[in-house]
Amino acid sequence: MPHGLTAGVSLKPQHFADALQASAPGLWFEVHAENYMAEGGPRLAGLAAVAAAFPISLHGVGLSLAADEPPDAAHLAAWARLVERFQPALVSEHLAWSQRRGVYAPDLLPFPRTGEALDRIVGNVARLQDALGRQVLVENPALYLPLKGHEMAETDFLAELVRRAACGLLVDVNNAFVSARNLGYGAEAYLDALPADAIGEIHLAGHAPDPGLGEAMLIDSHDAPVAEPVWRLYERLIARVGPRPTLIERDDKLPPFAALIAERDRAHQVLTRTPAHV
């Protein structure tokens, strides 16, 4: 795997001190880039200390790559400053939109997968990669709302995006599981169809049933441990594509750091018992 990364943990400021004490082969940390777009202060200083000791990954939630307009110029510039300063091992964003016409919605919104949308996203990913001077990984979304007007399956859409924009994929196995359940298709077949060579990172997270609709509608809540069916999909994916840097994502109901490390160790075991595919 690149940079010797095996399994990592998403990092919040509450866990900076624990992270600095951690030691495990292949351990790395991922943060949301938007939370570090400051001139100074303790949060940036904490990340700098962690980045001096471990590889880090910058994960974006606000570049709105699927919007019908280019990414916000000021936001791109802030991204470029962070990448310049922290030299992250991995950089990633989402196949979604969240900002257009000067309004930002803190969510990852769906869209009909048309040829026109693909052209737009290819252009936006190219702008991002040019601004950062490096390849980025694009993450498959968690979907809730069945839409009309799709011209391509999501796996074909992502494969075309990778081919045309020369980006990589961040495969969120929990998103694949949640979307398959919510929209009524098979998660195994979905993951089997993704182009193996393009996968540069994997996300694992917990989900929760919708408070109103129950198990028929799963929410990508990032507030619970990774579910067993998601672990099974992950093991199947790794057996197919070989080991890839894998992140335990947790954004809410933050458990003690040791609990995240225990989940991370489980992913590390999966990765290190799987030989690299040549």
Partner 1 sequence: MSELSRFQEAFSDALAGELAPLAPWIDGEGAEARFAVHRNTIARGCAEALADQFPTVRRALGAARMAAGAIAFSRQHPPASPSLMTYGAGFPDWLASFPPAADLPWLAGLARIDWARRDVLFAADRPPLGPETFAALAPAAYATTAAALHPATALLWFDDATPSLWRALQADDAPAEIELAARPEGLLLLRPGLEVAHRVLGPGAHAFLSACRAGLSLAGAGERALLAEPGLPLSQTFTDLIAAGAFACVRPAAALVP
Quick one: 103 or 278, whose CB is closer to partner 1? 103
- The verdict on 215 binding partner 1 (CB under 8 A) reads no
Place of tokens 């989940």: 263
One of 2, 4, 107, 273 touching partner 1 (CB under 8 A): 107
Mark 8-47 with x for binding to partner 1 (rule: CB under 8 A) and - for no binding.
--------------------------xx-xxxxxxx-x--
Burial (Cβ within 10 Å: 0-12, 13-18, ≥19) of residue 235: middle
Quick one: 157 or 234, whose CB is closer to partner 1? 157
Quick one: 124 or 140, whose CB is closer to partner 1? 124
Calpha distance 37→116 (Å, rounded): 32
One of 80, 217, 224, 254 touching partner 1 (CB under 8 A): 217
Stretch that binds partner 1, among 22-30, 106-114, 225-233, 268-276 (CB under 8 A): 106-114
Stretch that binds partner 1, among 20-28, 108-116, 195-203, 268-276 (CB under 8 A): 108-116
Antiparallel, parallel or unpaired: β 90-94 and 28-32: unpaired
- The verdict on 223 binding partner 1 (CB under 8 A) reads no
| DSSP 8-state secondary structure symbol assigned to residue 25 | T
Quick one: 117 or 241, whose CB is closer to partner 1? 117
Q: Shortest Cβ distance from residue 147 to partner 1 (Å)?
A: 5
Q: Shortest Cβ distance from residue 191 to partner 1 (Å)?
A: 23
Is there a contact between 92 and 125 (Cβ–Cβ < 8 Å)?
Answer: no
Reference 109, options 64, 150, 74; nearest CA is: 64
The strand ranges marked E within 47-102 are: 56-59, 90-94, 97-100
DSSP element (H, E) containing 174: helix 173-183
Task: Provide the CA 273 distance to its chain's centre, in angstroms.
Answer: 23
DSSP element (H, E) containing 267: helix 257-272
Is there a contact between 28 and 56 (Cβ–Cβ < 8 Å)?
Answer: yes
In the chain, the amino acid numbered 30 is E
Quick one: 71 or 243, whose CB is closer to partner 1? 71
Calpha distance 10→61 (Å, rounded): 14
Helix axes 173-183, 228-241, angle to 10 degrees: 120
- The verdict on 185 binding partner 1 (CB under 8 A) reads no
One of 74, 258, 276, 278 touching partner 1 (CB under 8 A): 74
Antiparallel, parallel or unpaired: β 103-109 and 97-100: antiparallel
Q: Shortest Cβ distance from residue 221 to partner 1 (Å)?
A: 10
One of 109, 166, 196, 254 touching partner 1 (CB under 8 A): 109
Quick one: 57 or 64, whose CB is closer to partner 1? 64
In the complex, which residues of this chain contact partner 1 (CB under 8 A)? 34-35, 37-43, 45, 61-64, 67-68, 72, 74-75, 78, 97-107, 109, 111-112, 114, 116-117, 120, 144-149, 182, 210, 212-213, 217, 219
